[in-house]
Amino acid sequence: MIVPLADISNRGMNVSLGPWARAAAAEGVDGDVKAMEGSLELTRHGVHVAVRGELHVVGEVLCDRCRTPLVVSLGGDVSIVYSPVSTLPEKVDDEEGLPRPPVDVGFPVEDVGEFDGEKLDLAGVVREWATVERPARLMCRDIDEAENDACQARFLELSGQASPTTIDPRFSILSALKLKSED
Ligand SMILES: [Zn+2]
C-alpha cells in the first residue's frame, strides 16, 4: 500500500490493516500470519512522516534448529519516523543507541527509517517492523523449555547425525576428555 506524502495531513491519517498488511507481516517474520490486529496513524511533519499505533501478530514460524512450526505472538507499540535520505543525520543513533530523528514529532521515537520523500510504502513499514520484532534466532526452547531435548534430537536427525554409529571415534575421545575436565 503506497501513500503519497501529499495525501498525509499534519492532523493525521488512519490506516486500516488489510490483506496487504498480513502479507507484509508474513514476509517480515519469515513465516505464516495466523492473526493480525492493530491500527496505524500517519502524520506529516514537513517532509517527514510519523507512523504511530500498535500492531499485534500471531505467526507460525519454523524453529531455526529443527524446523518444527512454532506459534509466536509478537506486537506492541509502533512509533517510527520516516525521513527523506537527504535529511537523515550521518549518525542515526545517539550515544545510548537511541534513534535520533531529524524532526521533533512530539512523542518518543523507537526507530528512524528512510523513504524517497514522495511516497511511503506501508507494506514496507509493516514488513520492517515484523522483521525487527521477530527474534533473530527462534528455537523450540524459546516457546517451551521442555522441548529442548526433542528439538536437539530432531536437529540431529535432520542433519543425519542421529545414529551414534555415525559419530567419528575421535569425537567420542574428545567428549570423554570434556566430561573429565568438568569434574
Ligand atoms: Zn526446534
- The tens place of each residue's pLDDT in the chain, 183 residues long, gives 899 999 998 889 999 899 999 999 999 999 999 999 999 999 999 999 999 999 999 999 999 999 999 999 999 999 999 999 888 877 666 666 667 788 888 888 888 899 999 999 999 999 999 999 999 899 999 999 999 999 999 999 999 876 555 555 555 555 555 555 554
3-class SS shares of the chain: helix, strand, coil, % to 5: 35, 35, 30
Whether 63 and 83 map to the same domain: the answer is: yes
SS3 55: strand
Whether 151 and 167 map to the same domain: the answer is: yes
- pTM for the model: 0.80
How far, in Å, from the CA of 33 to the mean position of ligand 1? 19
In angstroms, rounded to a whole number, what is the distance separating the alpha carbons of residues 100 and 81? 10
- List the domain range (segments joined by +) for residue 108: 2-139
Whether 170 and 135 map to the same domain: the answer is: no
How far, in Å, from the CA of 170 to the mean position of ligand 1? 27
SS3 10: coil
How far, in Å, from the CA of 141 to the mean position of ligand 1? 7
How far, in Å, from the CA of 71 to the mean position of ligand 1? 12
Closest CA to 69 of 36, 30, 27: 30
Whether 133 and 64 map to the same domain: the answer is: yes
Please state the φ and ψ torsions of residue 18, each to the nearest 5 degrees.
Answer: -110, -165
How far, in Å, from the CA of 149 to the mean position of ligand 1? 9
Whether 170 and 129 map to the same domain: the answer is: no
